[in-house]
């Protein structure tokens, strides 16, 4: 890899790490919003409160991007509309399946199965490209799964393949589809800002429709917007976990391989766990909710260590086999 490409590659890795930090913030924020919804919307259904957490942030993000693009939005191409729309469908489908799956399976099992795309992406690349991406890739993927299992305190005794497990695996496939669709060569000329706008608008449309369909009444739609803490949480999710993370993802992920991206995204629960060590107490004071800080455990240290080592391992020396396999797979 030429020096210029190596520098760009390193920058892409750093930008995607920052995207993971932003997504990590969403873990304690969403948990805090769930507790706040219990106070503001007692008796509201689960699907309504879930859609109320997702729809506003993507609607606001789409509005900001629309204003930011201004007249340039009139130059939106068919390729950008197609790529962003499909990615939005993949993301929304994954969120819906993962959320419903959580109703029927433990959170630790959900966390483990959701990250299965770390191994599914290189499998797809190997089959589609008819070329082995290399032993280091398989080892890194396996280490990531071990790390996620330790981090999430996954137990084989809790694993029994029912509705929750199958839905979560399907969610992982949807998230894999989102990652792969962003890498497609035919969309290389698409503008990241336009892609992000379409992605956010698509997700906002899907979850906005669900929110309106499941709302118990007009009051349930209005009440959250009168709560200062709720508005603050929504603003955090919009600025950092939606605008920030999706913009970084769409701009920088295409500059590395899909396999590398899948492994990097598995760092998200580490940052989420780190954020949960300090933010909940602050949120509790601000929003008058009962949400205690989590404690650092050996699971965080060991699981995080496995995931981090897996990413370092695959970055130590770029694999020509991986790049060739993804090129043959049209990625």
The model carries a pTM of 0.91
pLDDT grade for 278, boundaries at 50, 70 and 90: very high
Q: Of 4, 5, 33, which is closest to residue 237 (Cα–Cα)? A: 33
Average pLDDT over residues 117-130: 83
Assess whether pLDDT exceeds 80 at residue 327. Answer: no
pLDDT number for residue 108: 62
**DSSP class per residue in 143-193:** HHHHHHHHHTT--GGG---SHHHHHHHHHHHHHHHHHHHHH-GGGTTS-HH
Of 122-136, 283-297, 311-325, where does mean pLDDT reach its minimum? 311-325
Q: How many CA atoms lie within 13 A of 150 on its CB side?
A: 19
- Total length of the chain: 331
Tens digit of each residue's pLDDT (9 = 90 or more) over 106-121: 666 677 778 888 888 8
How many CB atoms neighbour CB 136 within 10 A?
Answer: 17
pLDDT grade for 95, boundaries at 50, 70 and 90: very high
Domain boundaries, the chain: 3-328
Assess whether pLDDT exceeds 60 at residue 3. Answer: no
């Amino acid at each position: 890899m030429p020096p210029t490409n190596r520098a760009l590659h390193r920058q892409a890795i750093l930008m995607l790490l920052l995207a993971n930090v932003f997504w990590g913030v969403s873990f304690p924020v969403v948990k805090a919003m769930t507790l706040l919804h219990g106070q503001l919307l007692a008796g509201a259904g689960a699907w309504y409160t879930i859609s109320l957490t997702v729809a506003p942030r993507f609607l606001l993000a789409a509005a900001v991007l629309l204003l930011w693009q201004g007249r340039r939005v009139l130059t939106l191409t068919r390729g950008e509309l197609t790529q962003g729309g499909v990615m939005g469908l993949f993301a929304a489908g994954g969120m819906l399946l993962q959320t419903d799956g959580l109703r029927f399976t433990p959170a630790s099992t959900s966390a483990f199965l959701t990250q299965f795309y770390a191994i599914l992406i290189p499998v797809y690349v190997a089959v589609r490209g008819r070329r082995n991406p290399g032993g280091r890739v398989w080892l890194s993927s396996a280490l990531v799964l071990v790390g996620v299992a330790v981090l999430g305190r996954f137990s084989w005794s809790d694993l029994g393949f029912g509705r929750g497990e199958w839905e979560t695996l399907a969610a992982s496939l949807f998230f894999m589809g989102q990652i792969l669709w962003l890498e497609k060569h035919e969309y290389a000329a698409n503008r990241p800002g336009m892609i992000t706008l379409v992605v956010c608008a698509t997700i906002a449309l899907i979850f906005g429709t669900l929110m309106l369909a499941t709302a118990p009444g007009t009051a349930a739609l209005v009440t959250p917007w009168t709560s200062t803490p709720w508005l603050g949480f929504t603003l955090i999710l919009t600025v950092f976990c939606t605008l920030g993370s999706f913009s970084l993802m769409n701009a920088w992920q295409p500059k590395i391989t899909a396999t590398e991206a899948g492994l990097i995204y598995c760092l998200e629960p580490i940052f989420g766990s780190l954020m949960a060590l300090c933010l909940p107490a602050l949120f509790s004071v601000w929003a008058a909710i009962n949400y205690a800080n989590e404690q650092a455990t050996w699971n965080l240290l060991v699981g995080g260590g496995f995931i981090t080592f897996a990413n370092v391992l695959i970055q130590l020396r770029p694999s020509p086999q991986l790049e060739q396999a993804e090129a043959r797979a049209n990625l």
